[in-house]
DNA sequence: ATTGACCTTCACGTTGCGTAAAGGTGTATA
DNA sequence: TATACACCTTTACGCAACGTGAAGGTCAAT
């Protein structure tokens, strides 16, 4: 049986380039070459190629395969064992690498969360300090020490996820409120939704909820200039609107 | 602190070529370049290089390292985990390869020893059969059945190493004998050495040694044409010479 | 004669540098 | 000041095992 280069490549499952390359480095030569220059391979070449591919699958370098196949005196058993040793060394190296990468991942993860934790903790503390500095005295006067302390404590004990949820809720309150403000009606569904969101937001900081406290806070939003500015910033009257919505929500007003 | 390319290479433990290559592929650029064209690196570059080498040790490709270091938004954790996955895949591949090589070694060894064993066993059996066919009757007449059977049994139980040792000894007997034959004196040191080697050779086939049996065998080498031809083949008179040497060695002659 | 599949050689690209070659620069010393 | 010597520069080939064209010739069938 005779094969053209492509036929041999197909039965061997390799490319014609590979066959030409093998010829180039002297591993397999065609049985003969036609006058047209076409390579013609015979059965012997098929067998040889089989051997080559076998050793290649075992990860031998082509130069070594060439040596093995070219000189029958070549100690194949020795070559196999040496190759085996080399592969074991390679695996050792690889294991070391993997272990190092794993260590790095653990370390980075540790440091990341550490860093983030630190940042987060620092952020929360700063928030509380700022609250204290800004509103401390007055709030402690208006609300019981207990409420404030619990609020701060809760803040400090919040996980990052909880914190982010609280922030998200806060933003939702703001946006819903802005939208509801357009209706002009603190009793409207949207305004009541804003009030509800505000309650949810509040419970993230206050341990428990009471209509009275909620209503009281709402009133404070109007009474205290600093809070009022925060809400009125974009739309004057928003603080008052929120207070009314909350009062309705809390059932102290209709 | 400013560094020339070689100084930086030295503190980093790499070559200047490597630094220039890193510059070529856009990983590290010198802080500035002097009018002479000399590259000058600063502290920032030292730090950057440190990062590069760190990732390189973890087996990252330079292109990936570049991405990691160039864009701070790059998800390093993800890159590490992907890399980790790739390394695990690589190890799996390697394990498979090693297992295949091991199987091949076992197979080849198995086949080799099997083949050799088979060859060897067959060879031994043929030897005995031949012995029986050639000399059987007569030898069984001259020596006891017991001696013959024991000899054959011993032959069959010989390991390949023992067998090869016996062959080797046999060859040594022949060569030493040929050399000793030149002296013309069966009592010479060399002839006695040949006799001793012959005894050693003999004990490989006979379980135990006795001067009498040795002397008897020696006599047979002369009396039996077939044995005599074997020894006299290269030098006529060798069989007789060996017999005399053995008789002296065994102490039955002086 | 033309198509379309197949063949040829030549040659560049891949990865991470090693290793020259050919020639300019910096600095210490005779 | 000349010179030696260490250091610098750019350019470019080499490595392993092919992949991937490009440019052009061959074969078999229509």
**Cβ of residue A74 lies below 7 Å from strand C:** no
Of B77, B98, B102, the CB nearest to A91: B98
pLDDT at B163 over 60: no
* Contact between B22 and B55 (Cβ < 8 Å): no
For residues A152-163, one letter each, b for 16 or more C-beta atoms within 10 angstroms of the residue's C-beta and e for the rest, the string is bebbeebeeeeb
- Mean pLDDT, rounded, for B189-209: 75
pLDDT at B6 over 90: yes
> pLDDT at position B134, please?
44
What ipTM does the predicted assembly reach? 0.48
> pLDDT at position A144, please?
53
- Mean pLDDT, rounded, for A219-239: 70
Q: Say which residue, A63 or B185, is predicted with more confidence.
A: A63
Match domain B5-74 to its CATH number in 3.30.70.20, 1.10.1660.10, 1.20.1440.130, 2.40.30.20: 1.10.1660.10
Domain A158-254 fold: Globin-like (1.10.490)
pLDDT at B133 over 60: no
Of B80, B94, B105, the CB nearest to A104: B80
Q: Chain A interface, mutation test: which of B57, B92, B104, most A Cβ atoms within 10 Å?
A: B104
Domain boundary assignment for chain B: 5-74, 75-142, 158-249
> pLDDT at position B137, please?
45
> pLDDT at position A33, please?
96
Q: How far is CA A188 from CA A234, A242, B18, B52, B198, in A?
A: 20, 12, 71, 60, 122
Q: How many CA atoms lie within 13 A of A207 on its CB side?
A: 11
Grade residue A136 by pLDDT with cuts at 50, 70 and 90: very low
What element of type H or E holds A39? strand A39-40
Instruction: Provide the chain A residues 69-98 that lie in CB contact (below 8 A) with chain B.
Output: 76-77, 80-81, 83-84, 87-88, 90-91, 94-95, 97-98
- Measure the CA–CA gap between B79 and A105, rounded to whole angstroms: 10
Domain B158-249 fold: Globin-like (1.10.490)
Query: Among residues of chain B, what percentage have pLDDT more than 90?
Result: 18
The verdict on B130 touching A (C-beta cutoff 8 Å) is no
Query: Among residues of chain B, what percentage have pLDDT more than 70?
Result: 69
- Mean pLDDT, rounded, for A184-193: 81
> pLDDT at position A107, please?
79
pLDDT at A173 over 90: no
Question: Over the stretch A113-130, which tens digit does the pLDDT of each residue have?
Answer: 545 444 445 444 544 444
A57 CB neighbours in chain B (<8 A) are 100
- Give the 3-state secondary structure of B113-140: HHHHHHHHHHHHHHHHHHHHHHHHHHHH
Is the four-CA dihedral B18, B20, B21, B23 of positive or negative sign?
positive
pLDDT at A146 over 50: yes
> Is the Cβ pair A94, B84 closer than 8 Å?
no
**Cβ of residue B139 lies below 7 Å from strand C:** no
The set of residues, in sequence order, having a beta carbon less than 8 Å from that of A178 and lying 6+ positions away, is A234, A235, A238
* Contact between B245 and B194 (Cβ < 8 Å): yes
pLDDT at B83 over 50: yes
- Mean pLDDT, rounded, for B129-135: 45
Query: Among residues of chain A, what percentage have pLDDT more than 70?
Result: 66
Q: Say which residue, A107 or B45, is predicted with more confidence.
A: B45
> pLDDT at position B167, please?
64
> Is the Cβ pair B108, A81 closer than 8 Å?
no
Grade residue A229 by pLDDT with cuts at 50, 70 and 90: low
> pLDDT at position B101, please?
83
> Is the Cβ pair A108, B81 closer than 8 Å?
no
> pLDDT at position B130, please?
44
Q: Say which residue, A118 or A42, is predicted with more confidence.
A: A42
> pLDDT at position A122, please?
45
Domain A5-73 fold: Multidrug-efflux Transporter Regulator; Chain: A; Domain 2 (1.10.1660)
Q: How far is the CA of A29 from the C1' of C9 (A)?
A: 17
Question: Mean pLDDT score of chain B, rounded to an integer?
Answer: 75
Nucleotides in D strand less than 7 A from protein CB: 7-12, 16-20, 25-27
Nucleotides in C strand less than 7 A from protein CB: 6-9, 11, 15-19, 24-26
Question: Mean pLDDT score of chain A, rounded to an integer?
Answer: 75
Q: To the nearest whole angstrom, how far is the Cα of A162 from the nearest Cα of chain B? A: 23
- Measure the CA–CA gap between A27 and B151, rounded to whole angstroms: 51
End-to-end CA, chain B: 97
pLDDT at A40 over 60: yes
The set of residues, in sequence order, having a beta carbon less than 8 Å from that of A212 and lying 6+ positions away, is A250, A252
Question: Over the stretch B18-67, which tens digit does the pLDDT of each residue have?
Answer: 999 999 999 999 999 999 999 999 988 998 898 899 889 888 899 989 98
End-to-end CA, chain A: 100
- Measure the CA–CA gap between B239 and B249, rounded to whole angstroms: 15
Of B58, B76, B100, the CB nearest to A101: B58
Best mean pLDDT range from A15-24, A59-68, A201-210, B182-191: A15-24
Q: Is A83 exposed, middle or buried (0-12, 13-18, 19+ CB in 10 A)?
A: buried
pLDDT at B227 over 70: no
- Mean pLDDT, rounded, for A82-87: 86
- Measure the CA–CA gap between A182 and A186, rounded to whole angstroms: 10
Q: To the nearest whole angstrom, how far is the Cα of A67 from the nearest Cα of chain B? A: 18
> pLDDT at position A226, please?
60
> pLDDT at position A59, please?
87
- Mean pLDDT, rounded, for A181-210: 76
Per-residue tokens: A11: 């039965």
């Amino acid at each position: 049986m005779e094969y053209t280069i492509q036929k041999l490549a197909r039965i061997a499952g390799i490319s014609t380039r590979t066959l030409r390359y093998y010829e180039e480095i002297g591993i397999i030569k065609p049985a003969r070459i036609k006058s047209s220059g076409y390579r013609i391979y015979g059965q012997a070449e098929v067998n040889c190629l089989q051997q080559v591919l076998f050793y290649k699958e075992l990860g031998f370098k082509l130069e070594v395969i060439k040596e093995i196949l070219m000189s029958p005196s070549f100690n194949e058993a020795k070559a196999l064992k040496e190759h085996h040793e080399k592969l074991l060394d390679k695996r050792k190296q690889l294991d070391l690498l993997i272990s190092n990468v794993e260590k790095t991942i653990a370390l980075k993860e540790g440091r990341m969360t550490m860093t983030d934790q630190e940042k987060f903790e620092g952020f929360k503390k700063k928030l509380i300090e700022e609250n204290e500095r800004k509103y401390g005295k007055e709030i402690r006067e208006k609300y019981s020490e207990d409420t404030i302390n619990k609020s701060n404590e809760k803040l400090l004990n919040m996980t990052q996820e909880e914190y982010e949820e609280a922030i998200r809720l806060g933003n939702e309150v703001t946006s819903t409120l802005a939208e509801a403000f357009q209706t002009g009606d603190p009793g409207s569904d949207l305004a009541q939704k804003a009030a509800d969101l505000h309650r949810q937001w509040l419970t993230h900081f206050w341990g428990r909820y009471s209509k009275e406290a909620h209503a009281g806070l709402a009133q404070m939003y109007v009474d205290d200039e600093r809070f009022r500015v925060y809400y009125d910033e974009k739309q004057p009257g928003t603080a008052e609107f929120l207070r009314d919505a909350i009062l309705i929500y809390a059932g102290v007003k209709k």
